[in-house]
Amino acid sequence: MQLQDILFSQGFGTRRVCAGLVQQGWVSVYQPDSPEPAQCLDASMDFAVEGLRLRVQGVDWPYHAKAYLMLHKPAGTECSQKPSAHPSVYTLLPAPLRQRPAKGALSGVQAVGRLDQDTTGLLLLSDDGQFIHRMSSPKKHVPKVYQVTTKHPVDAQQIKRLLAGVVLDDDPKPVLAAACVQQDACRIDLTLTEGKYHQVKRMIAAVGNRVEALHRSRIGDLELPEDLAPGQWRWLNVDELALLT
């Protein structure tokens, strides 16, 4: 693949812009077994993309045909590209990830589902539409674990009701938790396999309690790493991606 096309596919701008980056000396390519990249001034030069690593404007960038990311969402952010009252989680990502070309109307990576502005924890992002659908569709029943801190102590009857199913205002069909594990008097780990609007908060309210803090710790078999601080993101590696398939 030509270098300008590689850069375009990674979100570095139009093909003309990408060719300009190369011609201005802003792009270097890592060679096998070389600790430092070599500058390339020919935008039409062909490279094998498998395992390709670039340095663009001083930043190392591994080639990915599709983007699969995890982000530790901090409180006070919205999972929207057009936020209403708080900063967008997309501002935590570098520009190329927000500009990756796509066939649809939206470009760049998209959040796999959404978390409320005050909810923290594991958020997946991708530009793979099939992956997004598979992970977010209620028909796929992908389990998601939430650490819930409540205002009042959680009793056995409330846990029983969460597991049996509670009726939310807009849906006559009971919504139930796949699992509910009590960690202490006011904290439970709640596992859900579908995602409705404010679902955890509404379920807790339905059993007579209130959510004070909410944190998503796991999606499928993928847990939020302890070393990924709020606001940080990284690429999913092969093993982590396998936990979601």
The CATH number for 104's domain is 3.30.70.580
Identify whether residues 106 and 134 lie together within a single domain: yes
CA distances from 147 to 103, 226, 229 (A): 36, 14, 17
pLDDT confidence bin for 105, thresholds 50/70/90: low
What is the pLDDT, as a whole number, of residue 34? 82
Q: How large is the average pLDDT for residues 37-59?
A: 96
Task: Please return the burial class of 54, using the count of CB atoms within 10 Å of its CB with bins 0-12, 13-18 and 19+.
Answer: buried
The CATH number for 167's domain is 3.30.70.1560
Identify whether residues 123 and 98 lie together within a single domain: yes
CA distances from 237 to 34, 113, 241 (A): 22, 20, 6
Query: Token digits for 96?
Result: 């190329």
Identify whether residues 133 and 232 lie together within a single domain: yes
The CATH number for 18's domain is 3.10.290.10
3-state secondary structure of 233: strand
What DSSP assignment string belongs to 24-39? TT-EEEPPTT-SS-EE
Identify whether residues 151 and 213 lie together within a single domain: yes
Identify whether residues 174 and 57 lie together within a single domain: no
| pTM (predicted TM-score) | 0.93
Identify whether residues 215 and 233 lie together within a single domain: no
Average pLDDT value over all residues in the chain: 94
Number of domains in the chain: 3
Task: Please return the burial class of 195, using the count of CB atoms within 10 Å of its CB with bins 0-12, 13-18 and 19+.
Answer: middle
CA distance 228 to 92: 13
What is the pLDDT, as a whole number, of residue 11? 97
CA distances from 5 to 129, 173, 203 (A): 21, 50, 48
Q: Which residues are catalytic?
A: 116
Domain limit, last residue, from 62, 88, 113: 62
Q: Which domain holds residue 42?
A: 3-62
Residue type, 3: L
CA distance 206 to 217: 23
What is the pLDDT, as a whole number, of residue 176? 94
Pick from 131, 111, 117: which is nearest to 70 by CA?
111
Place of tokens 């006559």: 172
| pLDDT greater than 80 at residue 208 | yes
